[in-house]
Structure 1
């Protein structure tokens, strides 16, 4: 599993934008500056839709005031589902929704979770602060928990 002070691995994430499907390598897009990455087990699921993503949207300005350049949500869903989820919640451009379509990036991080017949490979719920491509803080939730990856907790751990 990735840990604090590790460099982010390369990988393939996508998003659906106005110009179609956009492809990202996390090592490249998070190479400069300070970024928040958090992951949810699935778009449109109760905790993810009612608490996890909305918390980061609500605190986006507070994160910017702490020097965060971008807030990014990863889920093992396709880019079309992630776009529909963002549209349904009206998040605008406060959080970039990134698709880890087959869970390969979650596996590369060591943060995949096999839910079996329920949903297959998903991401564990986590949050990390990345500074210049290096994991500064990593907060991984225990099974069925939602404490250390929530926006308020992560914001509290940041220094300006």
Structure 2
């Protein structure tokens, strides 16, 4: 069953880049306080993720903050080293908290995993965005077609806030 409005976010271990290297964090801890916008992508450095999805959240971070968002976070079935390099290449800085879901545990627990094996990707995350308040999903939008960034784009999230 896919994560839906009213659901508590899953609590799994994710990795986040840090100055000391990848650091384990619990999803319930980093996503469970305040208002969080979480967006999931099938893979760092893929075209739609790199050209549209991540940059939209980076460019409009101040607008999200003005609407009460405490944290903007991104999860992907990649390792923390890849997410760190991707964030640096896109100038994300501190605008987006990168959460590596290397084993796909969060995607699976949220019911948002997908089989990308016909594209050579293996199991990945669906493309989505969610607004989470104190650990409870308030709104979630999942793209029906993975390369599309409409429902999960920053414009849609801003309209929901």
User: If the length of structure 2 is used for normalisation, what is the TM-score?
Assistant: 0.95
Query: How far apart are 1:29 and its partner, in Å?
Result: 1.8
Match of 2:137 among 135, 138, 141: 135
What is aligned with 1:149?
152
CA contact (8 A) 2:52 2:149 kept: no
What is aligned with 2:79?
78
Which stretches in structure 2 are left out of the alignment for 5+ residues?
none
- List aligned pairs for 1:21-32, cutoff 5 A: 21-32=22-33
What is aligned with 1:33?
34
What is aligned with 1:3?
4
Give every structure 1 segment of 4 or more consecutive aligned residues whose post-TM-superposition deviation is greater than 4 Å: none
- List aligned pairs for 1:1-160, cutoff 5 A: 1-117=2-118, 118-144=120-146, 145-158=148-161
User: If the length of structure 1 is used for normalisation, what is the TM-score?
Assistant: 0.95
**What is the CA–CA distance in structure 1 between the aligned matches of 2:6 and 2:54, rounded to whole Å?**
25
Query: How far apart are 1:75 and its partner, in Å?
Result: 0.4
Which stretches in structure 1 are left out of the alignment for 5+ residues?
none
